[in-house]
Amino acid sequence: MEKKYHIQLDKDQIKNAQYALLPGDPARVQKCAEAINPNAVKLACNREYTSYLTSINDTNILVCSTGIGGPSTAICVEELAQLGIKNFIRFGTTGAIQPYISIPSLIITTGTVRLDGASKHYAPIEYPAVADFEIANALIYGAKKTNEEYHVGISAASDTFYPGQERYDTYSEYVIKDFQGTMKEWQKLNVLNYEMESATLFTMASALGLKAGMISSTIASRVKAEKPDDSILHLAEMKMILALKEALIYLIG
Ligand code: URA
C-alpha cells in the first residue's frame, strides 16, 4: 500500500480513523496518544511528522504532529485528507494578548485572522478561517469539564514567531513597519492570542469540505513578557490534553 510522501502513512495503518489530533510538536504526540489510551501505538516518524494511533471506545484516532507553521501544516492536512481523515483538531501552545487571560489557561478558537501565507494557496484572503461549529462546541464542553479558566474567540495566526507576533527581543530588535503596532491593533479588535497554524488549518478544512477546530494553552502573556514561560509548559499541555480528551468523548460518544 502506498505511503503518503511526507507523513509516511498509508490507509491500512490508520485503521479507518476519521479524527486526527494535530499538535505542532512531535514530542507531544506520544504524550497525547497515551493520555487518551495507554495502549496507543507508534506508526511513523518522518521529518516533523510523528504519528501514533490511539482510540476511545473502539474508535481509532490518529495523532500526528504538523511541525511549526502553515506550510508544514498544509502538507500534513493534505496527506491525511487523502487517507480519509475528515476531522482535524489542532492542539498547541499560544501567546495570550489580552490582559485578562491567565497563563496557563485554555483558548478555543472560533475564527482566525489570516496572517499566514499558506492559507492563500487554498482560498483568497476574503474567505474566512473559521472552526467547525460542532468541534468548537465540543472543545468548549471539554474545557468546562476540566474546571480550568478558558476563553472562546478569535486568534491571529502568523507565519513568524518573532516579527509576525511583534516581538522585539530578537537579533535585530527591529520589526518591519507592516507589523509595528499590530499587537495593539489585534488587542483593540478583541483578538485573544497569537499562534501559527490555525489560519491554514481552518481555511483548508472549510475549502476542502473537511472539519477542523483548535484548542490551545497559553504559555506566554504578551502584555507582561515576550518570552513564553517554560516552567508552566508541562502543566499547560496536560490541562489541554485533558480538555481535548473530554471533547473527543463528547464527539465520539
Ligand atoms: N506559540 C506562538 O505562536 N506564540 C506564542 O507566544 C507562544 C506559542
pLDDT digits (tens, 9 = 90+) for 132-177: 999 999 999 999 999 999 999 999 999 999 999 999 999 999 999 9
Question: 220: Cβ below 6 Å to ligand 1?
Answer: yes
- What local confidence, expressed as pLDDT, does residue 149 receive? 98
Q: Is this prediction's pTM over 0.95?
A: yes
Nearest of 87, 84, 5 to residue 47 by alpha carbon: 5
CATH 1.10.1060.10 is the classification of domain 13-252: no
pLDDT band at 1; cut points 50, 70, 90: confident
d(CA 249, ligand 1 centre) in Å: 28
Q: Is 125 helix (H, G, I), strand (E, B) or coil?
A: coil
Question: 122: Cβ below 6 Å to ligand 1?
Answer: no
Q: What is the pLDDT of residues 204-226, one digit of tens each?
A: 999 999 999 999 999 999 999 99
Mutate to test the pocket of ligand 1, among 187, 219, 221 (most ligand atoms within 8 A of CB): 219
Separation of alpha carbons 176 and 165, rounded Å: 11
What would the mean pLDDT of 93-98 be, rounded to a whole number? 98
- What local confidence, expressed as pLDDT, does residue 124 receive? 98
Q: What is the pLDDT of residues 43-59, one digit of tens each?
A: 999 999 999 999 999 99
Q: Catalogue the active-site residues.
A: 6, 79, 167, 222
Separation of alpha carbons 5 and 105, rounded Å: 36
Pairing mode, if any, of strands 106-115 and 150-158? parallel
Contacts of 249 (CB under 8 A, 6+ apart): 56
